Amino acid sequence: MNSITLGPLSKAQGEIQIPGSKSLSNRILLLATLAKGTTKITNLLDSDDIKHMLNSLKLLGVNYSLEDQGTTCILEGLGGPINAEVGDLFLGNAGTAMRPLTAALCLGKGQFHLHGEPRMHERPIGDLVEALQDLGVDISYEGEAGYPPLHIKTNGLSGGEVSIKGNISSQFLTAILMSAPLAQDDLTIKVDGELVSKPYIDITLHVMKQFGVEIENQNYQAFVVKGQQSYISPGEIMVEGDASSASYFLAAAAIAGGKIKVHGVGSDSVQGDVKFADVLAKMGAKITYGPTWIESERYELNGVNLDMNHIPDAAMTIATTALFAKGPTTIRNIYNWRVKETDRLYAMATELKKLGAEVIEGDDFITVTPVETLQHVAIDTYNDHRIAMCFSLVAFADTPVTINDPGCTSKTFPTYFELFNTIAS
């Protein structure tokens, strides 16, 4: 198997321009498609998750051109629902393509088949499907009930009132929210129970507003959306840098000696994952925010015990940063790590234990207690980009680290290891 060995390294120093946000790129592509007018999208992320969205849009008849190595996209909006009558869409393991497209396709008239990589067929989608069925769409499971692949037979999305569960993934609510303005009637969406990963809903509402649609948010428990509206292209829109991708570089500086400034995310950012820097600061790192940048510098790190439900992706970076802190670190309220690219609670615990750390894997938490000396091992990455990126930080210990299948970072960050090598020495 392909692998790379890094370190031992002792310094992380430099300035990084972080590539565009995955969450924003796929939301903007979808709303630009539904909008009236042409949209020029700049700083688009060029990665597998975005390619799955772009390939699907092309198959569905959307016209766009790509420039600047895939980071600029000029897309002709349809000014309404996707009007293809059939589509067979492969969406890899991209939650931000699978979930929002499932809802958006229901707005039109036609029959669609949505599928992905084997892991995508193990990632739940039942809560979204049930809500769409309640809104009059004929959706069936082609394999196990509650999971893709899906078959959609639709004649438009009715309005009214619908409930959706929020305790497994916020992407289900995001999907319904983005489609709701184009439904046949006004729609009230009620969130049933707890809502996880809440800041991602703020990203959704922000992008909808950029495309001219505002909705009534009743304290994240209900959303009231007027039907038969149109999204309007803002003309040009820039994708801000990916805050989850920034986490690895900010952590690198906090762990090693040196200073790193990450450009592309900052105090003006709409992404909840910028709050990762606050966790680093709580651990003891010196963090400075500018509107569009964050700087991180080492100071003695201490373990923390925090609820990280609001930053599920960047929280993984804390699990390996914890190896360099004094005392144990507990990351709480992260049950849905289990239904992402892999069972991340199991995978993180297993790989951290291989290094020699003491780890408790709870149902919805992980506790990592660092040890004096880490072992040189080969980290299995479970086809999960974030596992590969998180464990690169182990290279700042006194021992090297081997990362198996480093190419899996192509899901959201194909150039990760190249950039890592420019700041680490």
Ligand X SMILES: C=C(OP(=O)(O)O)C(=O)O
Contact 215, 174 (CB under 8 A): no
Residue 174 is a binding residue for ligand X (CB under 6 A): no
Does the protein bind ligand X through residue 117 (CB under 6 A)?
Answer: no
Q: How far is residue 416 from each of residues 248, 249, 298, 389, measured CA to CA in Å?
A: 9, 10, 21, 8
Decide: is 170 part of the binding site for ligand X (CB under 6 A): no
Q: Is 95 annotated as a binding residue?
A: yes
Residue 412 binds ligand X, judged by CB under 6 A: yes
Site of tokens 């709303």:
31
Does 425 count as an annotated binding residue?
no
State the DSSP string of 325-389: SBS-EEEES-GGGGGSSS-HHHHHHHHHHHHT-EEEE-SS-EEEE--SS----EEP-TT-HHHHH
Among 33, 336, 342, 367, binds ligand S3P (CB under 6 A): 336
154 binds ligand S3P (CB under 6 A): no
- The entry of ligand S3P, ligand X, none near residue 181 (CB within 5 to 8 angstroms by kind) is none
Residue range at the interface with ligand X (CB under 6 A); choices 89-97, 105-113, 180-188, 296-304: 89-97
Select the binding partner of residue 197 from ligand X, ligand S3P, none (C-beta < 5 to 8 A, by kind): ligand S3P
Instruction: Tell me the C-alpha distance between 287 and 302, whole Å.
Output: 15
Judge whether 93 is annotated as a binding position.
no
148: preceding bond cis by omega (within 30 degrees)? no
Residue 312 touches ligand S3P, criterion: CB under 6 A: yes
CB 50 within 8 A of CB 268: no
List the interface residues with ligand X, window 270-329 (CB under 6 A). 313
- Intra-chain end-to-end CA distance of the chain, in Å: 26
**Angle at the Cα of 276 from the Cα atoms of 91 and 322, rounded to 5 degrees:** 100
Per CB under 6 A, the list member of 89, 189, 196, 408 interacting with ligand S3P is: 196
Among 34, 41, 57, 94, binds ligand X (CB under 6 A): 94
CB nearer ligand X, residue 74 or residue 339: 339
Binding flag, residue 367, ligand X (CB under 6 A): no
The span from the CA of 272 to the CA of 240, in Å, is 13
Residue type, 53: M
Active site residues: 313
| Residue keyed to tokens 């009236």 | 36
Query: From residue 26, how far is each of 239, 303, 347 by CA, in Å?
Result: 10, 35, 27
Choices 166-174, 255-263, 398-406, 415-423 (CB under 6 A): range interacting with ligand S3P: 166-174
Supply the minimum distance, in Å, between the C-beta of residue 27 and ligand S3P.
7
Q: How far is the CB of 382 from ligand S3P (least distance, A)?
A: 15
135: which DSSP letter? T
Say how far apart CA 15 and CA 13 lie, in whole Å: 7
Q: Contacting ligand S3P (CB under 6 A), which of 169, 245, 247, 367?
A: 169
Candidates 7, 81, 95, 241: give the one binding ligand X (CB under 6 A).
95
The binding site for 3-phosphoshikimate comprises: 22-23, 27, 169-171, 197, 313, 336, 340
The binding site for phosphoenolpyruvate comprises: 22, 95, 123, 171, 344, 386, 411
Q: Which residues bind ligand S3P (CB under 6 A)?
A: 23, 95-96, 169-171, 174, 196-197, 200, 312-313, 336
